[in-house]
């Protein structure tokens, strides 16, 4: 898919578009839109980052009643304890969302 500005069909009936490389009103001169080039198309992949230097997974819980959140933790126990304590202090707050932060990375296929 190319640039919509450069390659979209002219939707005005009967309108003539200038030739590529020509400006409107000057059929011989170059267009003044700047460089336009596609070097190459590449295939990319997105995958969880399991490299040794990747950020660790982290967990937290968010109360869906008041939007309050537990502190972020690398383990599950602290967010779970926070949710139980939060429900104990606020008996009507009984639903939570688990928030997991997982590092991801992309790489280009050769």
Alpha helix ranges (H) inside the chain:
4-7, 77-89
| Own/partner pairs, 70-75, CB within 8 angstroms, 24+ separation | 72/101
| Residue 99 falls in which region: left (phi positive, over 0), alpha (psi -120 to 50) or beta | beta
β 104-108/96-101 pair status: unpaired
Q: Are the C-beta atoms of residues 86 and 68 closer than 8 Å to each other?
A: yes
Q: Can you give the pLDDT of all 110 residues of the chain as single tens digits?
A: 443 444 444 444 444 444 544 444 445 555 567 777 777 788 999 999 999 999 999 999 999 999 999 999 999 999 999 999 999 999 999 999 999 999 999 999 87
Domain boundaries, the chain: 58-108
- pTM confidence score: 0.56
């Amino acid at each position: 898919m190319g640039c919509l500005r450069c390659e979209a069909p002219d939707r005005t009936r009967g309108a003539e578009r200038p030739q590529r490389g020509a400006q409107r009103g000057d059929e011989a001169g170059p267009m003044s839109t700047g460089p336009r080039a596609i070097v190459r198309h590449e295939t990319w992949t997105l995958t969880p980052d399991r490299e040794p230097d990747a950020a660790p997974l982290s967990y937290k819980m968010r109360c869906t009643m008041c939007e309050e959140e537990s502190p972020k933790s690398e383990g599950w126990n602290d967010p779970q304890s926070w949710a139980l304590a939060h429900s104990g202090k606020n008996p009507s707050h009984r639903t939570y969302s688990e928030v997991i932060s997982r590092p991801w990375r992309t790489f280009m296929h050769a």
